[in-house]
């Protein structure tokens, strides 16, 4: 058995049965090994950022890692942006990078680069396999690392000779589960004291604390104590909609975030990190919270947060209290010409039950979250950490993780451009993804930022040209068709509503270019 086969066996033994791949020469033995195992689903991606973004979306929805497969250091580099997103979303990812045969590294080949050096800034765990006999063990360790802390990026670098050499050891057991942080009674006690103090409190939830079971506990605590429930901007995955416990989303920018924190004295973190504004500005305050606010951590490990919330719920005596649930709010069907909010209302109005919403609409879609709070139950997956090009691939990955659920991807035309190659894989895999392109033909968020940093309202023509996507206009319908994805351009709300409703029964991807003023 060669190392490539041992690797595949270890992945399958650890429950990793999907591989988003953009392989090159050094990965040919792994490709050949994939071929021998029916249980492994290889998914070809035409750019590395599609592979890592798909693994991110898959991990968020499957709660287990997919593998990637990339070619050398420069292949990895194309996938780094979406690994950055995956880390912040707490997605489990087993990120596999092929390397030259170890003895070839000193040859001076132009293709050599420092793969570990490139991987470290965007990974939680990095390891290079030494030989064929250690590949299976290393893969199991990577799976364990990927599943730790509610989801991490584990990068495994495989020199070609570790794949092709004999001596591969089949795994003798599945990858061991990661060590789980246990609930800290002291942290629970501190949270109880804070909640009983009568001072305004915010329960800040992240990671696994944003699933229904944990949210019910949080909702009981809120009902019993008056604490508010919130989650930081850049939501990995939130189960929300009518009949579920509502959670505020903290604003990304400092001014509205300070308003959200105004008066709050105690902030209890459960699977969330200390929140920070996305950007800094020359003359604005730096912290979201009031000067006297206290932060305390109920559970740093997102995987432990549900148990910690359960313990807190019991300790505060809220087990029998009904949480407030989001009422169903059936919006009226919007009509007329397209505006950004009309598009969002159409999605809210027409989306099928249990849809997965992937939101990389940046500025155009910023009202989706408030508008859709009373929509049918759905999962909400947001761009986690600002690295553009997450939406198209993560919608693909979410669809492969949940083939029976419709996926609706809200995409800015600027952000869609970074990983548009993912549309082809959506077509090949017949992924049920509706992509809605907010075609405003500009980097709208940068228009706003020009003001935020204090630049005069009327930036000159040359600067303006650096923020606009016109001249020539991009035809997303042509681009989609080029990738084999059915597509339509809409300027009116009526046909858009029909396309959103169509998600319930459609097989395969569809792209709508929503032409905005």
Residues 91-130 binding its own copies (CB under 8 A) are 100-101, 103-104, 107-111, 113-114, 117-118, 120-122
- The answer to whether the CB of 98 falls within 8 A of the CB of 125 is no
Question: Quick one: which of 375, 483, 510, 514 contacts its own copies (CB under 8 A)?
Answer: 483
> Is 486 one of the binding residues for its own copies (CB under 8 A)?
no
Q: Measured between alpha carbons, how far is 436 from 439 in angstroms, rounded to an integer?
A: 9
Q: Measured between alpha carbons, how far is 355 from 381 in angstroms, rounded to an integer?
A: 11
Q: Which of residues 218-237 bind its own copies (CB under 8 A)?
A: 232, 234
Q: Measured between alpha carbons, how far is 208 from 303 in angstroms, rounded to an integer?
A: 6
Give the binding range for its own copies (CB under 8 A) out of 196-204, 342-350, 368-376, 480-488.
Answer: 480-488
Task: Choose among 331, 355, 327, 353: nearest CA to 343.
Answer: 331
Helices (H), 90-167: 115-119, 132-147, 160-164
The tokens describing 29, both together, are 């033995």
Question: Quick one: which of 424, 444, 497, 514 contacts its own copies (CB under 8 A)?
Answer: 424
Least distance between its own copies and beta carbon 348 (Å): 26
Size of the site for its own copies (CB under 8 A): 104
Least distance between its own copies and beta carbon 229 (Å): 20
Q: Measured between alpha carbons, how far is 155 from 146 in angstroms, rounded to an integer?
A: 9
Question: Quick one: which of 160, 210, 437, 516 contacts its own copies (CB under 8 A)?
Answer: 160
> Is 24 one of the binding residues for its own copies (CB under 8 A)?
yes
Q: Measured between alpha carbons, how far is 132 from 136 in angstroms, rounded to an integer?
A: 8
Cβ-based nearer residue to its own copies, 175 or 250? 250
The tokens describing 229, both together, are 């429930």
> Is 392 one of the binding residues for its own copies (CB under 8 A)?
no
Cβ-based nearer residue to its own copies, 471 or 507? 471
Least distance between its own copies and beta carbon 317 (Å): 33
Q: Which of residues 161-180 bind its own copies (CB under 8 A)?
A: 161, 164-165
> Is 49 one of the binding residues for its own copies (CB under 8 A)?
yes
Give the binding range for its own copies (CB under 8 A) out of 140-148, 188-196, 331-339, 478-486.
Answer: 478-486
* Residue whose token pair is 């105004």: 262
Question: Quick one: which of 180, 278, 330, 333 contacts its own copies (CB under 8 A)?
Answer: 278
> Is 449 one of the binding residues for its own copies (CB under 8 A)?
yes
Quick one: angle between helices 48-62 and 391-401, nearest 10?
50
The tokens describing 151, both together, are 């989801």
Cβ-based nearer residue to its own copies, 336 or 454? 454
Q: Where are the beta strands (DSSP E) in 110-261?
A: 125-128, 153-159, 201-205, 228-231, 238-240, 248-249
Cβ-based nearer residue to its own copies, 169 or 475? 475
Cβ-based nearer residue to its own copies, 325 or 450? 450
> Is 321 one of the binding residues for its own copies (CB under 8 A)?
no
Task: Choose among 81, 79, 83, 68: nearest CA to 23.
Answer: 68
> Is 256 one of the binding residues for its own copies (CB under 8 A)?
no
Q: Measured between alpha carbons, how far is 320 from 188 in angstroms, rounded to an integer?
A: 18
Q: Measured between alpha carbons, how far is 221 from 315 in angstroms, rounded to an integer?
A: 10
The tokens describing 167, both together, are 């001596």
> Is 29 one of the binding residues for its own copies (CB under 8 A)?
yes
Question: Quick one: which of 137, 258, 294, 481 contacts its own copies (CB under 8 A)?
Answer: 481
Q: Which of residues 402-421 bind its own copies (CB under 8 A)?
A: 414, 417-418, 420-421
Least distance between its own copies and beta carbon 288 (Å): 10
The tokens describing 219, both together, are 């909702």
- The answer to whether the CB of 374 falls within 8 A of the CB of 241 is yes
Least distance between its own copies and beta carbon 53 (Å): 12
Question: Quick one: which of 84, 220, 244, 310 contacts its own copies (CB under 8 A)?
Answer: 84
427: left (phi over 0), alpha (psi -120 to 50) or beta: alpha
Other CB atoms within 10 Å distance of the CB of residue 286? 9
Cβ-based nearer residue to its own copies, 393 or 414? 414
> Is 35 one of the binding residues for its own copies (CB under 8 A)?
yes
The tokens describing 268, both together, are 């209890």
> Is 457 one of the binding residues for its own copies (CB under 8 A)?
no
> Is 291 one of the binding residues for its own copies (CB under 8 A)?
no
Question: Quick one: which of 213, 453, 492, 498 contacts its own copies (CB under 8 A)?
Answer: 453
3-class state of residue 160 by DSSP: helix
3-class state of residue 275 by DSSP: coil
Q: Which of residues 57-76 bind its own copies (CB under 8 A)?
A: 72-75
Other CB atoms within 10 Å distance of the CB of residue 371? 18
Q: Which of residues 352-391 bind its own copies (CB under 8 A)?
A: 384-387, 389
Cβ-based nearer residue to its own copies, 30 or 368? 30
For 379-409, the DSSP string reads: EEEE--SS-SS-HHHHHHHHHHH-TTS-EEE
């Amino acid at each position: 058995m060669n190392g490539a086969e041992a690797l595949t066996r270890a992945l399958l033994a650890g429950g990793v049965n999907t591989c988003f791949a953009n392989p090159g020469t050094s990965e040919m033995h792994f490709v050949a090994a994939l071929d021998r195992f029916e249980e492994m689903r290889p998914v070809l991606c035409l750019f590395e950022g599609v592979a890592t973004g798909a693994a991110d979306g898959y991990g968020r929805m499957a709660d287990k890692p997919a593998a990637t497969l990339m070619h050398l250091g420069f292949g990895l580099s194309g996938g780094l942006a979406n690994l950055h997103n995956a880390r912040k979303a707490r997605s489990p990812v087993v990120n596999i990078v092929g390397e030259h045969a170890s003895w070839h590294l000193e040859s001076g080949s132009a293709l050599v680069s420092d793969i570990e050096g490139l991987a470290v800034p965007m990974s939680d765990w990095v390891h290079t396999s030494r030989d064929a006999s250690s590949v299976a063990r290393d893969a199991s360790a990577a799976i364990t690392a990927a599943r730790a802390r509610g989801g991490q990026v584990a990068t495994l670098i495989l020199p070609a000779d570790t794949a092709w050499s004999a001596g591969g050891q089949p795994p003798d057991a599945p990858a061991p589960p990661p060590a789980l942080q246990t609930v800290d009674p002291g942290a629970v006690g501190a949270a109880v004291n804070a909640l009983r103090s009568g001072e305004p409190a915010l329960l800040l939830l992240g990671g696994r604390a944003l699933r229904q079971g944990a949210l019910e506990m949080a909702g009981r605590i809120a009902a019993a104590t008056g604490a508010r429930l919130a989650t930081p901007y850049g939501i990995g995955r939130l189960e929300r909609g009518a009949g579920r416990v509502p959670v505020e989303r903290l604003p990304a920018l400092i001014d509205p975030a300070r308003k959200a924190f105004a008066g709050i004295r105690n902030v209890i973190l459960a699977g969330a990190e200390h929140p920070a504004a996305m950007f800094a500005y020359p003359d604005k305050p730096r912290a979201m919270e009031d000067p006297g606010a206290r932060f305390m951590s109920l559970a740093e490990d997102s995987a432990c947060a549900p148990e910690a919330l359960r313990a807190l719920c019991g300790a505060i005596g809220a087990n029998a209290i009904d949480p407030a649930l989001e009422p169903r709010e059936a919006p009226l069907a919007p009509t007329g010409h397209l505006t950004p909010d009309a598009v969002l209302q159409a999605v809210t109005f027409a989306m099928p039950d249990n849809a997965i919403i992937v939101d990389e609409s940046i500025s155009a879609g910023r009202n989706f979250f408030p508008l859709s709070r009373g929509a049918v139950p759905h999962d909400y997956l947001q761009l986690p950490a600002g690295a553009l090009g997450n939406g198209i691939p993560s919608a693909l990955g979410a669809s492969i993780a949940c083939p029976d659920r419709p996926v609706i991807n809200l995409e800015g035309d600027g952000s869609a451009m970074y990983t548009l190659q993912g549309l082809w894989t959506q077509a090949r895999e017949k992924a049920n993804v509706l992509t809605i392109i907010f075609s405003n033909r500009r980097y709208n968020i940068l228009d706003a930022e020009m003001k935020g940093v204090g630049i005069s309202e009327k930036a000159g023509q040359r600067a303006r040209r650096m923020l606009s996507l016109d001249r020539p206009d991009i035809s997303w319908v042509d681009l989609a068709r080029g990738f084999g994805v059915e597509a339509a351009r809409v300027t009116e709300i009526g046909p858009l509503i029909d396309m959103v409703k169509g998600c319930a029964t459609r097989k395969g991807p569809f792209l709508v270019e929503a032409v905005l003023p």
